[in-house]
Amino acid sequence: MPPDRIFVRGLVVRTVIGVHNYERPIRQTLVLDLEFEVDLAPAAASDELQDTVDYRALCERIQSRIESESYGLIERVAEETARLVLEEPAVHAVRIVLEKPGAVRHARTVGVVIERRRTG
C-alpha cells in the first residue's frame, strides 16, 4: 500500500533571496508545495489532532523561519524547510517543490524539487 500523505499547495513566503546585489535590499516571493509522508491511520481512528501533523502550525513555523532569514540560493531554503518538516515526529519523508516566480525573464517561474527521508 502506498504511504499516506498530507499536502500543502501554494504556501507563499516573502524573504531576502538571491546572489545578485540588486536582489539583496528587497523581499521576494517564494511559493512552496509540500508533501509529508505520514501514517494517517491513527488520526483517522481517533479523530484527534495529536495523532497527525498540525499542518497549520507547521506552515506557520516554515513561514516564520524563511521570512526571518536571508538566503543566497533557493536550494538552501528548500533544504532548511525539509529539515524543519522532518522535526515533526509523525513525518517520515517530505517532498518540496519551491518556486521563485519572476527569477528568469520570460519564464513564469523557476524552482527546485527535493525529497528527504528521516534517517535512523
Enzyme catalytic residues? 100
Supply 120's cell numbers: 535512523
Q: How far apart are CA 81 and CA 94, in angstroms?
A: 9
* Secondary structure E strands in the chain: 5-17, 28-38, 70-71, 91-101, 109-117
